[in-house]
Structures are given as C-alpha cells and as structure tokens.
Structure 1
Amino acid sequence: MPYATAADGVRLHYEEAGSGTPILFIHEFGGDCRAWEPQLNYFSRRHRCITYSARGYAPSDIPADVDAYSQAIAVSDALAVLDHLGIARAHIVGLSMGGFATLHFGLTAPERALSLTIAGAGYGAEKQYEDYFRGVSLEVADRFATLGAVEFSKTYALGASRVQFQNKDPRGWQAFADRLAQHSDIGAANTMRGVQAQRPSIYDLEDQIRACTLPALIMVGDEDDHCLQPGIFMKRCLQASGLAVLPKTGHTLNLEEPALFNQLLAEFIAMVEAGRWTPRDPRAEAGQIMKTT
C-alpha cells in the first residue's frame, strides 16, 4: 500500500491512475480517497490522477493529538503527496473541506498549482454564521467521539445538503453513507476540531484571494445554501475564476452529479491548458448595468 510522508512524519495513503498532466483530488470531511472514484475512472484516460486519504482517515495515519490537525497542515500534506511523487505542478481539485484546502493551496503555494477547482466550499465562511459553525463543528466532533462513526453517520449522512443525493441516487448515497460509517472516531473528531472549527473565514482572506492569479473554477449546488454566497464571493475576488451552479443539487457534487461535474472540470482543464482561461476582461465592470457613453 503506497504512502507519502508528511512533514511531521504522518503517513498519507495515496492512490493514482493514468498518465499525463497531473490532477490532485482532495476529499471532503464526509469522504476519503474512495470518494473520487468517478473522477479517477474518467480523467485517468488522459491525466495522471492522484488522490489520498487525509490524516485521520484510514489507511492514512490517525494522530491522536488534535494539534496535528489544521488548515495549514492540510495544505502541507497535499504538498507532501506531490513531493513524494516528484510532481512539480498539478491541477488541484477539492470538495468542501478539500475545497478549502485547494483555495489555501493556491494562496500558499501558487507556483505548485496549474489551476484550482474549488467545489462545495463555504461552510463557516459567512460572517453571520461563523460562531454558529464553530459551535456546531465542535458538537459534531463530540458526537463522533462519543457515539462513534457507525452510529453518528446515520445522522450526519442525512444533512440538509445531503438528502438531494439520497433522493436522486439512493444506491450511490448508501455507498457514501457506508464509507462514512467506516471513519475513525478519533480521526473524524480531531479533523472537526482542528481543521473545520479553526479555519479562517474566506471573507477574512479577501486581500490574499484578490492577489491570486491562478485559473480557478468554483462549483456549488444550488441547494447547498451555505456555499452559495461564499461561491459568489470567491468568483468576485479570484481574478481568473468562473462559477458553475449545479441545479437541484446539494453538497456532494462529484458523486451526486458525476457526469456534469466531470464535464465542467474537463472543459475547464482543457481551457486552462490551451491558455484560454483568462482573467475577467476589465471592460466587464461589475457596477455597470448598461453602457451609455
């Protein structure tokens, strides 16, 4: 079983398939490396696809100390995987927790990214919900620690932005819920406490985000309510970004709508590699309604 070693010695299990320009997929809190299977199957036909299980997710190591988990460490771990594989630059694709890691990757190590795909990222970012998000994240952490993943996954998998997946694809949703039930109790709790509850709001990073020139694709489901406004915010701030809103769709974008997700991502990567995904034309002034002079 292949492993990369993080800066602090934590082992990160990774999987790869295909050859070509590399794509690194970073999973969400409710997933692990298996959550990207529809994308590895599709994109490995023309790309070198890599995904990994974050620290706290078996078969990667599961540190018992919550201080071993943070947003900055999540970025460092992604870089460790690329370093281990000898990859200088890659397209970085992340969902939810992985979407935040992707954004921070672009802010921290832009020279290592060919592009950023930030999907379903926004929970806790809205300033009016910041304190609530931190509190509920700690509550979720406690539930994983006390009830265990097998029991608490039955609740977590039926969140307000997960039921769309269940309604569309009960079999796919059940596979997601089964994987969630296999999570490490302590790994899930520490990830919630160290990464989710402590990460900064993207609204507090506006200056850094505006300075980022990397090509970026932002994807969000229209029924993933707490990601919609952050998605629009990132669209307005990232100089070379596009925003795709998937209709009648919740949070688990790449699994709930795999064909549409793959189509949008494939077109984006093709445009980037052709040099045609450029910053917004300065003539497209956001404040203008109609031109009169």
Structure 2
Amino acid sequence: MPTRIAFEFETPGGTSPGSPGGTQVGRHTTSLTYERRGSGAPLLLLHGIGHQWQAWEPVLDILAAERDVIAVDLPGFGASEGLPQGCAYDLTTVTPVLAAFCTAIGVERPHVAGNSLGGLLALRLGHEKAVRSVTALSPAGFWTESERRYAFGTLRAMRGAALSLPVPLIDRLSRTPAGRAVLTSTIYARPGRRSPEAVVAETHALREATGFHQTLAAGRTVLFRDDIPSLPVTIAWGTRDRLLLRRQGVRAKQAIPGARLVRLPGCGHVPMNDDPALVARVILDGSSTD
C-alpha cells in the first residue's frame, strides 16, 4: 500500500532557468506519497509530468526482486500534495525536495531512474551527487526550442483532452485496445497492453495534476548541458518516442560523454509498459555499481 510522509526541505533561493519566479529561501514542509517494495540497494523511481508512481507498475516487481524500490509521486502529481505557496516547481526547488524525501525515509544516496521529467530530475540529482547512479529514460532537457514547443503543446493538448472527456466516456474508451490508443498512444507505442484500469487511473491523474501548469512554466528554458563525470549514467530512448524524439538522445550523450546510450526498440515515450523486461534490465544494469 502507498505511504505518505511529511518532511521539511530547505531551498537555496534564486531562480532556475525557465522558472517564472524564485522560491523563498528557507525551510518548508510538504508531503509525498510513495510505494516501496523489495530489498537490496535502494532505487528511487521518478515519473514524468502528469503521471504518477503507477507508471512504473509494469516493472516494479521485476526491479523489487533485486532492489529496494521506492516509486514516488512527484510534488503536485498523483496523490502527493503540491509544493507550499511561494515555491516554484523548478529544478532548484524540486531537487532538494527529493533529497529531503530520501532522508526522511532513511535512504542515503539511492540509485535513481526517471522517465521524461523524472529523467531530468534524476540527472540533476546525479549532478548534485545526491545519488549513486542515474538511469534516465527519454529525459527532458535535451530539446531544441522547436522540439520543446512541440512537446509542451502536445502535453497541453493531452491535458485538455483528459479534462474535456466525460468520465463515463473515459471508462468506455478504456475497455477496448482502440479506445486505449485514443487515450494513451502519444506516450505508449503499445497502448493496447495497458490495462483498462491503469488507463482510467492515469487519465484521471492527468486531469487532477495540480502541479501540471507550474511544472511546464518552470521548464520553458530548461536545458541540461552539465556533464556528470563521477557517476554511472545510462540514457535510454525508445525508437518510437513521439513526444521527445530520439535524436535528443544523441545530444544527451554529447553533454554527458561517459554515459551509456541505450536504444529501446519498439518503445514509446513511457517505455515501462511497452517492454517491461527490457526496461527493467536496463535499470538493473545501470544501478549495479556498488
């Protein structure tokens, strides 16, 4: 069963690139919801914008056979509360939130794997030396301006569609492979594999994501161009990613020359559902350095 924990975090102040305003310097209190399974080296899992920890469900049990897996709802998504008033949803704020969360649950420098927004946050945690290794699946932040505009426009359209669809229609669409494709084909290459219950739940999560617009606003000029020379880094990209095109993986490799760049054949932007065995193996290999 998911757990919610309240904790304090400290923000350094200032403004991250893309943030419409800085966060007040000092200590704040928030709470996050997370699912924890398995045993072994700790592995933190970070989902993408508009999603929730259940995005990792297809690979959770595989990973939990070898790792102490902590899948968390990011601030303002899933069952986690939004950030306190006055806190921007930028890297400068969310990174210390995640570091403080790990401390609150008794985990020191976990391995981390993230998808999309979660991949960007994972790389930032790696740059801050707050984790042991990083596995980033289609991470944000390696786009050109036109690619960013396309991705953000697509995300806004997905959010708008989720908000406009009547709940009974979402339920009906989820019952057929074609309907699940209507709801989720932007992020999954094989949407028919997602269960009806999961599709309904993540469509509702997108509708109810209180941190959606603030997170997009904070990402308008974010570019990740920092090397992470002292940690094992794996960057993986689905060959059928329709949101963040796979050529961005080449830029990620150029920014982080020591990273292992992995191709995920037949996978979309959220690859955990499309090929659970492959994605789990990539994460386990990437987090095997102890």
Same fold (TM over 0.5): yes
Residues 184/62 of structure 1: CA separation in 2 closer, same or farther (3 Å cut): farther
| Distance in 2, Cα, partners of 1:120 & 1:199 | 15
Q: Structure 1: give runs of 5+ residues left out of the alignment.
A: 274-293
Q: 1:115 aligns with which of 110, 133, 136?
A: 133
For residue 32 of structure 2, give the secondary structure of its aligned residue in structure 1: strand
For residue 113 of structure 1, give the secondary structure of its aligned residue in structure 2: coil
| Distance in 2, Cα, partners of 1:201 & 1:103 | 17
Does structure 2 retain, via aligned residues, the 8 Å contact 1:138–1:192? no
| Distance in 2, Cα, partners of 1:136 & 1:64 | 28
Q: 2:274 aligns with which of 212, 234, 256?
A: 256
Q: Which residue of 2 aligns with 1:216?
A: 233
Q: Which residue of 2 aligns with 1:73?
A: 93
What do residues 88-147 of structure 1 show as CA deviations (whole Å, max 9, x unaligned)? Answer: 21111001121111112222x21x211000002247822333344445555555666x63
User: Identity over aligned residues, as a percent?
Assistant: 20
Q: Which residue of 2 aligns with 1:24?
A: 44
| Distance in 2, Cα, partners of 1:137 & 1:258 | 24
Residues 72/179 of structure 1: CA separation in 2 closer, same or farther (3 Å cut): farther
Q: Which residue of 1 aligns with 2:5?
A: 3
For residue 66 of structure 2, give the secondary structure of its aligned residue in structure 1: coil
- State the Cα distance separating 1:253 from its structure 2 match: 0.7
Residues 238/160 of structure 1: CA separation in 2 closer, same or farther (3 Å cut): same
Q: 1:100 aligns with which of 97, 115, 120?
A: 120
Q: 2:201 aligns with which of 150, 163, 179?
A: 179
| Distance in 2, Cα, partners of 1:48 & 1:216 | 19
Larger mean Cα displacement after TM superposition, 229-238 or 87-96: 229-238
Does structure 1 retain, via aligned residues, the 8 Å contact 2:50–2:206? no
Q: 2:54 aligns with which of 34, 37, 40?
A: 34
Does structure 1 retain, via aligned residues, the 8 Å contact 2:53–2:73? yes
- State the Cα distance separating 1:211 from its structure 2 match: 5.0
Q: Which has the higher helix share?
A: 1
Task: Please say which structure displays the higher CA radius of gyration.
Answer: 1
For residue 205 of structure 2, give the secondary structure of its aligned residue in structure 1: coil
Q: Which residue of 2 aligns with 1:245?
A: 263
Matched, 1:56 2:82: no
1:115-264 paired onto structure 2 within 5 Å: 115-122=133-140, 125-135=143-153, 137=155, 147=164, 150=167, 157-162=183-188, 164-167=189-192, 169=193, 172-183=194-205, 185=207, 187-188=208-209, 190-199=210-219, 204-206=223-225, 209-210=226-227, 212-225=229-242, 226-264=244-282
Residues 234/184 of structure 1: CA separation in 2 closer, same or farther (3 Å cut): closer
Residues 38/130 of structure 1: CA separation in 2 closer, same or farther (3 Å cut): closer
- State the Cα distance separating 1:13 from its structure 2 match: 1.2
- State the Cα distance separating 1:32 from its structure 2 match: 1.2
| Distance in 2, Cα, partners of 1:63 & 1:142 | 23
Larger mean Cα displacement after TM superposition, 230-239 or 116-125: 116-125
Residues 238/135 of structure 1: CA separation in 2 closer, same or farther (3 Å cut): same
Matched, 1:83 2:100: no
- State the Cα distance separating 1:230 from its structure 2 match: 1.6
TM-score after normalising by structure 1 = 0.75
Residues 183/148 of structure 1: CA separation in 2 closer, same or farther (3 Å cut): farther
Does structure 2 retain, via aligned residues, the 8 Å contact 1:124–1:201? no
| Distance in 2, Cα, partners of 1:66 & 1:176 | 33
Q: Structure 2: give runs of 5+ residues left out of the alignment.
A: 10-27, 174-180
Structure 1 vs Structure 2 CA RMSD: 3.1
Q: 2:286 aligns with which of 263, 268, 272?
A: 268
